[in-house]
Amino acid sequence: MTGGARTKVAVIGSGNIGTDLMIKILRLSDTLEIAAMAGIDPDSDGLARARRLKVATTHEGVEGLVRMDEFADVRYVFDATSAGAHRHHDEVLRPLGRTLIDLTPAALGPYVVPPVNGDRHLDVPNVNMVTCGGQATIPVVAAIGAVTPVHYGEIVASISSRSAGPGTRANIDEFTETTSSAVEEVGGAARGKAIIVLNPADPPLIMRDTVHCLVSTCEEGAVTASVEKMAENVQTYVPGYRLKQKVQFDPVRPGEPLHSLTPEGTGEALKVSVFLEVEGAAHYLPAYAGNLDIMTSAALRTAERMAAHRPAEGAAR
């Protein structure tokens, strides 16, 4: 769509995530045009930056957004607020024919992780971007599952406490529930578990993620190749995403606690461990905030795929 009409979008939420997303759209996207940003704090840095960048703004939330002239041509609305607020935003915007791309853990719509199922939900009215931990780790679970069934997938996301704002801290329970569910539904694990760690280290450490998958005996080379290929796919929209070391394989024998999660009669099994880090692009957020960067990057990639699927023709009226 380069050179053609761009699909107009809006962002709700003028905090770190919404502001970074706005800047990414302005700098990186050939297919999307940001028409408006809505917040609730008239003094927020996000709204101030938007005004300086000639983006229309309102500090009256979603109600203010729908009253704006610019809203008429908006097709996609990114929600970078909270799980609770998103439910209200969905009630307001869905009847107006707008598609919501949800960066909260509300999970009203289907989960989307771009390199895993990014082409499966292009026409639904609300898609959920899971969580930062989900975006970083579910591609790995899916890559392992493409080679051998995953009986159990456990992910641990460690992020700098400085990159965890009020929304993240208020949604810890939703984070673990949403991510665990998506490890199963999108990643393909028979059972999933998610853990988040807020690391208080100073200077701040960049996002680190660990993935443990319990599988039956498999061809290790094939699993390694699948994981490495998936990492390359994620790097196409999150350049700072990388494997920290080679994929690890450790035997799990009958009698060990983890073995109880395998189907009966499987005998020996393997724990496949993958260690990742995510460095942010520092468009607005500091580079250590890879947890936020991967969310905004995944949301941008999702909206661009939707826009390519339905070329710009004006929003539903």
Per-residue pLDDT tens digits for 94-143? 999 999 999 998 899 999 999 999 999 999 999 999 999 999 999 999 99
The annotation status of 171 as a binding-site residue, yes or no, is: yes
Residues 72 and 174 in one domain: no
Residues 216 and 140 in one domain: yes
Contact indicator for 213, 146 with CB cutoff of 8 Å: no
Global pTM value: 0.93
Residues 283 and 162 in one domain: yes
Residues 109 and 151 in one domain: no
Give the chain's residues under pLDDT 50.
1-2, 314-317
The annotation status of 204 as a binding-site residue, yes or no, is: no
Q: What is the DSSP string of 86-141?
A: HHHHHHHHGGGTPEEEE-STT--S-B--HHHHTTS-TT-SEEE---HHHHHHHHHH
The annotation status of 165 as a binding-site residue, yes or no, is: yes
Residues 271 and 181 in one domain: yes
Residues 142 and 280 in one domain: yes
The annotation status of 16 as a binding-site residue, yes or no, is: yes
The pLDDT assigned to 278 comes to 98
**Looking at the 3D structure of the chain, how many domains does it have?**
2
The pLDDT assigned to 312 comes to 54
The annotation status of 166 as a binding-site residue, yes or no, is: yes
Q: What CATH number does the domain containing 140 carry?
A: 3.30.360.10
- Catalytic positions are 132
1 within domain boundaries: no
Domain coverage including residue 194: 132-288
The annotation status of 169 as a binding-site residue, yes or no, is: yes
Both tokens assigned to 113: 């992780």
108 within domain boundaries: yes
Residues 150 and 118 in one domain: no
Say which residues have a Cβ less than 8 Å from residue 166's Cβ, sequence separation at least 6: none
204 within domain boundaries: yes
187 within domain boundaries: yes
Q: What CATH number does the domain containing 64 carry?
A: 3.40.50.720
Residues 183 and 239 in one domain: yes
240 C-beta neighbours (distance < 10 Å), count: 19
184 within domain boundaries: yes
Residues 216 and 143 in one domain: yes
Contact indicator for 105, 131 with CB cutoff of 8 Å: yes
Residues 162 and 178 in one domain: yes
Residues 138 and 270 in one domain: yes
